[in-house]
Each structure stands twice: as C-alpha cells, then as structure tokens.
Amino acid sequence: MITTLFFDLDDTVWDPRPALIAADRAQWQSIKDQHPDIAANIDRELINTVRETVIHKTPSLIENVSDLRLSVMRELLRHKGLSDEQADQSANTAFACFMAKRNDVELFDDAHDILSALSERYQLAAITNGNADVHKTSLGRYFSFALRADLVGMAKPDAAIFNLALQQAQTTAERCVHIGDSIENDVKGAINAGIRAIWFDPEERHYNGATTITALSELPATLEGLV
C-alpha cells in the first residue's frame, strides 16, 4: 500500500523561473540601494568569476543554493572594499529581498486540483534542493512537511535526505513514492533510498526504466498502476 508521496517542487509542481528572475532583480536592487557606487562596478563577468572562486574554495556550497548566493554576495562586496561586517550585513539585507520574491512561483495549471485530491488519500511531503518555501505558497495546505536542502544540510540525490523524510513521515520506503523532474536527483536518488520514483517529464524526453508522467493529471492513475 502506498501511503505517502514525496514531491520535488521546482519544475515539478510549479515554474520557478519568473520568481527567480524577480528575486534576483530584488537582490541586486538592494545592493544598488545600499552601495550605488559599488553596484555600478559589478557586472555578470565579475559575479561569475567570484562564484567560481567561492565554489572552488568550498565545493559543498554547490548543494546549498542559499548559502552559495550569500557567500557570492559577501565575497563580491569584500572584493569591492567593504569590511567583513559591512559585507555580511549588506548581503543579508539583499538576500532578505531575494527571499521576499522567491515564493511568488507560477503554479502548473493542474497543481491545485491534483494535489488537493491526492492529499485526501495520501500524506504529501516536499523534498527540494531549492530554497522556495512551499508553505508560503497556496499549495502549502496540502503538505504535511517540507525538507529544504539549504535548511537540513543534505541534498538530493543523497539518500540521507530521503531517509530523513521517511523518519519525519513515520513510514517506510515501501509505502512511499517520490515524484520529480530530475533523473539524477529525483529518480535515481529515490531509487537509491529504496523508494519508488515517478519521473515528471512534460517535455517527453524519455528515460528507459523510469515510470513516467507528462502531466500532473496523469499521476492518480499512474499511482494506481504501481499498487
């Protein structure tokens, strides 16, 4: 019997791109408002160079999108002459502006109807490597809990984050299915944790061996087929 469904969020139940674009603009507007002279001398090439340097110095940041964003901003501001304390304060202020827009995601058309129906039959939980908070969106009511990689210190495809979800859901791998758009993070990650996976593949890219849906509306019937 399937009792629990784990969902990826970005590109599975919503399109994150409009929110990410707006959030990124809000972040850099904050930097401009705080330090107009510095902001005028920060371009995309410099941002990419600093980002590569930060990742090279601390490779584990690649799994934590929030800490990586903050670290890049701090390093940029230090590079432009701010003290550590000033850089930290300004980066934190800018990141707050980013997060204020991050949850303004565009839901896929059938997300509400499908998740509402599924939540009446299954326990739903989110496992995401992104930093959006599902409980600050209109879908939050359907989810018992959400695990964000930047908050729990582990990320998909590591089996550890799936095991943490099993513990929090108080269930076993055999009773769960994970749904997500990434073959590596969602399908392979779940399977390595002993959890069945459904690949959300709206672009019909195909992957041999994966149980696949091309729209969320196909999910109820596909779940029935797994039982």
What percent of the chain clears pLDDT 90, i.e. is strictly above it?
95
How far is it, in rounded angstroms, from Cα 111 to Cα 217? Answer: 8
SS (H, E, C) 136-148: HCCCHHHCCEEEE
Residue 210 has pLDDT above 90, yes or no: no
Residue 227 has pLDDT above 80, yes or no: no
What's the pTM?
A: 0.91
How much is the pLDDT for 159? 97
How much is the pLDDT for 29? 97
How much is the pLDDT for 223? 96
Q: Is the dihedral of CA 166, 172, 173, 176 positive or negative?
A: negative
98-109, pLDDT tens digit by residue? 999 999 999 999
138-160, pLDDT tens digit by residue? 999 999 999 999 999 999 999 99
How much is the pLDDT for 82? 96
Residue 209 has pLDDT above 90, yes or no: no
How much is the pLDDT for 100? 94
How far is it, in rounded angstroms, from Cα 44 to Cα 50? Answer: 10
Band (206; pLDDT cuts 50, 70, 90): confident
**Residues 160 and 171 sit within 8 Å (Cβ to Cβ):** no
DSSP assignment of 145-198, as one string?
EEEEHHHHT--TT-HHHHHHHHHHHT--GGGEEEEES-IIIIIIHHHHTT-EEE
How far is it, in rounded angstroms, from Cα 73 to Cα 90? Answer: 9
Q: What domains are defined for the chain?
A: 4-15+105-226 (3.40.50.1000), 17-102 (1.20.120.1600)
